[in-house]
Amino acid sequence: MMIKKLLGLILSLGLLLNSGYSQPVSQKSAPVKGFHLDLRIQVLTVNALKELAQKLQKQGVNTLIMEWEATYPFEKHPMISNRFAYSRSEVTSFISYCKTLGIEVVPLQQSFGHVEYILRNPRYMGMREDQKDYSQVCPLQDTLNKALFTDLFSDLVSTHPSPYFHIGGDETYLLGHCDRCRAKAAMEGKSKLFVDHIKMLCDLVTSLGKRPVLWADIALKHPEALHLLPKETILVDWNYGWALNRFGDPQKLVETGFEIWGAPALRSGPDSYFVTQWDKHFRNIRDFIPMTKKLGYTGLIMTSWSTSGIYSPVFESSSDIVDLYAIRRVYPLSAFNLLLTAYGESLQTEQALDIPRFIESYTQKNYDFTPSQAQLFYKALTVTPYEVRQGKVLSPSAMSLQSLLDSTVWAAQTLKQLMPTRNQEEFDHYRLMTDIRIEYLRYQLLEKEVNDETFARSQIPLTLSKLKTLMAQSRALNERFTALQKNFLHPAEIEQEIYWRSIKPKLLYERLSQDKSSITTPQSRGK
């Protein structure tokens, strides 16, 4: 009898080990303290990935969510990968390196929306919810969906030993869009469309011995069908500085019985090369993280988005696509150690982040600033962080473009006058970001002038002169950007970032000058 019991115990242990779980979640020694890395654009070099992992470890991070997107080298689906894709040895070597640091690497494979990089290829056209908008799979293409995601999930599981697998699932804005889906939604509701597809994906994940993780925004909108998901599913409530109930009542999410993680952000909309809303991100860390602890969330994932996740397609014909261009690019992650450290501090305490105290402490330690210099520094970072849309400043009260430019010039002068004795390169990012914003605002003023009803052809020479000056300044900014990013991003990625950041003045110059000898194209990017 004792021998039978012993054999049964050994068999049970073997099944547990083969299931893919390192240990039952209830016995994990530490809660998830995570960071999300978005590689849709701005692909890091392998050395930069390892340096980032070292920084994360110092901040107490034990989990890294890798949204590889097209940088993962899929075996059976090579057309999904892009030119910046890592080799399989680079992927496995990085995951092993993170393990030595005590960081678990979790793959994130978008499997519903945000799959333009997959559906752009004719091989997958039968899976599209819309033949013009490639962002989402049709949830009713059961056979095609299951075949593809079985391949992709299996491939990622083979290189990632983590017990977790993130399936995405956010921002599925095309739910009920095609004729078949519209008919099903009318009969059973959009929630059924969403949950049936998500359940299929979650079942795939659990069949591979992993726990499915998904973004909770759509789940919050359709809580009535969540009971259909596997009980192992983890929902991630992302909130980047807005009201807690933006997607739905988070308390009801807790009451579903699923494990819940929270996700703030250190880069998110409307951040771009031309505005970074530092204060919003600090307040997000200060307010949301303590709230997740009060709600009983069991993990945190700091997100960092390189782009909006929306793409602009260029069509060769009504049905054939040439390329997809990311809408809205954000200054690279290399400049955000300040916010990363604030997140790390928040992971170590139950108290809400004291922003003024943190800024004073961080700048003293890293730049040798006095308290008054710390205040000046933060004011320069956060002054008038407003977007410009079609020539209008999106500010709480009326503000002119010139006033916005003047405040940014003051910020640049202030950052130039502040002289850190340590971490000069890190500080140079702040200066460059502010100078890029100045260039952008000066261009916005020019664009507003040429679109005024009083603008006449006789004014073109003066405008061209201003544009020439602006483009010369831009070239100097490009050199500074290249120097700061040369060990962080791939060289071709740097050229691409420069091209899209500085294209508008060049295009306006060519348009007004009607110079046919020098036409700006993507092939000349960075020049």
pLDDT of residue 245: 78
**Using H for helix, E for strand and C for coil, what is the string for 91-117?**
HHHHHHHHHHCCCEEEEECCCCCCCHH
Question: Would you place residue 320 in the very low, low, confident or very high pLDDT band (cuts 50, 70, 90)?
Answer: confident
pLDDT of residue 486: 95
pLDDT of residue 242: 86
By the 8 A CB rule, do 38 and 305 touch? yes
Q: Which residue has the higher pLDDT, 223 or 432?
A: 432
List, for residues 151-170, the tens digit of each pLDDT value. 999 999 999 999 999 999 99
Residue 433 has pLDDT above 70, yes or no: yes
Percent of the chain at pLDDT above 90?
A: 80
Residue 325 pairs in a beta bridge with 312
Residue 423 has pLDDT above 60, yes or no: yes
Residue 336 has pLDDT above 50, yes or no: yes
Question: Whole-number mean pLDDT of the chain?
Answer: 91
pTM of the model: 0.91
Distance in angstroms (rounded) separating the CA atoms of residues 340 and 429: 15
List, for residues 397-409, the tens digit of each pLDDT value. 999 999 999 999 9
Residue 7 has pLDDT above 60, yes or no: no
Task: Give the H or E element holding residue 312.
Answer: strand 311-315
pLDDT of residue 296: 92
Section 98-107 average pLDDT:
98
Question: Would you place residue 365 in the very low, low, confident or very high pLDDT band (cuts 50, 70, 90)?
Answer: very high
CA angle 440, 362, 276 (to 5 degrees): 20
Q: Which residues contact residue 254 at a Cβ distance below 8 angstroms, ignoring those fewer than 6 apart?
A: 260, 295, 296, 297
pLDDT of residue 127: 96
Section 264-286 average pLDDT:
97
Q: Which residue has the higher pLDDT, 254 or 280?
A: 280
Q: Burial of 280 by CB count in 10 Å (0-12 exposed, 13-18 middle, 19+ buried)? A: middle
By the 8 A CB rule, do 148 and 127 touch? yes
Distance in angstroms (rounded) separating the CA atoms of residues 101 and 158: 21
Residue 18 has pLDDT above 60, yes or no: no
Residue 314 pairs in a beta bridge with 323
Question: Would you place residue 116 in the very low, low, confident or very high pLDDT band (cuts 50, 70, 90)?
Answer: very high
The DSSP 8-state label assigned to residue 455 in this structure reads: -
Percent of the chain at pLDDT above 70?
A: 92
pLDDT of residue 524: 52
Section 407-434 average pLDDT:
98
Amino acid, single-letter form, for residue 249: D
By the 8 A CB rule, do 526 and 478 touch? yes
* Cis peptide leading into residue 356 (ω within 30°): no
List, for residues 199-225, the tens digit of each pLDDT value. 999 999 999 999 999 999 887 877 777
The CATH class that applies to domain 29-347 reads alpha beta
